[in-house]
Structure 1
Amino acid sequence: MFIRKFEQSDYPFVKDIYQQGIDTGNATFQLKAKTWDEWNNSMHSHSRIVAVENNTILGWAALSPISNREVYAGVAEVSVYVAMNAQGQGVGQKLLSALIVASEANNIWMLQSAIFPENKGSIKLHKNTGFRQVGLREKLGKMNGVWRDVVLMERRSKTVGTSDTPEVN
């Protein structure tokens, strides 16, 4: 298995894996995989990767901005999805580790994830890659008529954005 940059031609496979996650009911509030344009416009143009083995995409990871305000330019939301038939094989760990490297190469100093508490595998994956739980957002949104809580996790870079010197514009 190897990790490589996402290419637009990968999107049909990425979309299928995304839909598999959606179908679990514990991956996202999204009820249907986004179209190419929706997905492409919601993600950073950098830090998009896929895990590949035997010419098959096993999973993907990407970053989306949390805000269009300049002060938050170095903060991004993590998306990591692994195909159902590839779970438990270390794919998520490799993807998230590579995504962290890519994020720092693109001047991202803070990564955050919002994870349903029921998604224990994702919470464990994030903890194993240096994320910490910073809170629980109770009843953040309704999904199929049911209020859902979200665990908020974050990872601060040890190399990007570490200066305590105030910026002067």
Structure 2
Amino acid sequence: MIREMRQDDWADMMRIYQQSLDKGNVSFETSCPSYADWDNAHIRQCRFVYVRNGTIAGYTMIAPTSRRRAYRGVVELSIFVDEACHRQGIGTQLLLKMCEETEKCGYWTLYAAIFAVNRASIELHRKCGFREIGYREKIAKDRFGIWQDTVLMERRNRIR
């Protein structure tokens, strides 16, 4: 079941995020943020969790890409799925829900910067209508000190 995210989902969300940090192929961050920092960095609309057997199995949210008014409809998407739930369709369902809801809210472009080594995430985004728009070589070092390339992907919602 997909529903809107609540603050009391935070512990499960950070458990899943920590898995991604430990794996090292998803984020350049080195630690989990506080709820307040996370909340301030993300748009309050379009925050969704996937609940399975009473536990959060994945989540997705958006953040602004720029403070300039001209870019108000362009948002950066993030999606995280519990490692125990990979390859079960949860990511696809969450991403399709995000595409549908962001369009309803007037966002015209979803953007994602994905580690090039994270082929599963690249394929998930492609499956849900995203296309590759660029590549950033050795853009930053991950938490283990290894240079990572990122693949830039976007999905254009219908502009009304």
TM-score by length of 1: 0.91
1:91 corresponds to which residue? 90
- Confirm or deny that 1:115 pairs with 2:114: yes
Cα-to-partner distance string for 1:60-101 (whole Å, 9 max, x where unaligned): 000011111111100000100000111111000000000111
- Confirm or deny that 1:71 pairs with 2:90: no
- Confirm or deny that 1:155 pairs with 2:155: yes
AA of the residue aligned to 2:97: A
Q: In structure 1, list runs of 5 or more residues that go unmatched.
A: 163-169
Counterparts of residues 125-144 of structure 1 (less than 5 Å): 125-143=124-142, 144=144
Identity of aligned residues (%): 40
1:166 corresponds to which residue? none
| Greater C-alpha Rg | 1
Distance 2:70 2:48 in 1: 25
Distance 1:101 1:11 in 2: 24
State the shift of 1:146 in Å.
2.5
- Confirm or deny that 1:42 pairs with 2:41: yes
Distance 1:19 1:38 in 2: 16
Distance 1:140 1:156 in 2: 24
RMSD: 0.9
Distance 2:138 2:9 in 1: 34
1:80 corresponds to which residue? 79
Distance 1:32 1:93 in 2: 26
1:145 corresponds to which residue? 145
Q: Out of 144-153 and 7-16, give the one that drifted further.
A: 144-153
State the shift of 1:114 in Å.
0.3
Distance 2:95 2:4 in 1: 13
What's the secondary structure of 2:80's corresponding residue? strand
Stretches of 4+ aligned residues off by more than 3 angstroms: none
AA of the residue aligned to 2:60: A
Q: In structure 2, list runs of 5 or more residues that go unmatched.
A: none
State the shift of 1:145 in Å.
2.8
Aligned residue pair count: 159
TM-score by length of 2: 0.96
Distance 2:29 2:87 in 1: 23
Distance 1:34 1:106 in 2: 27
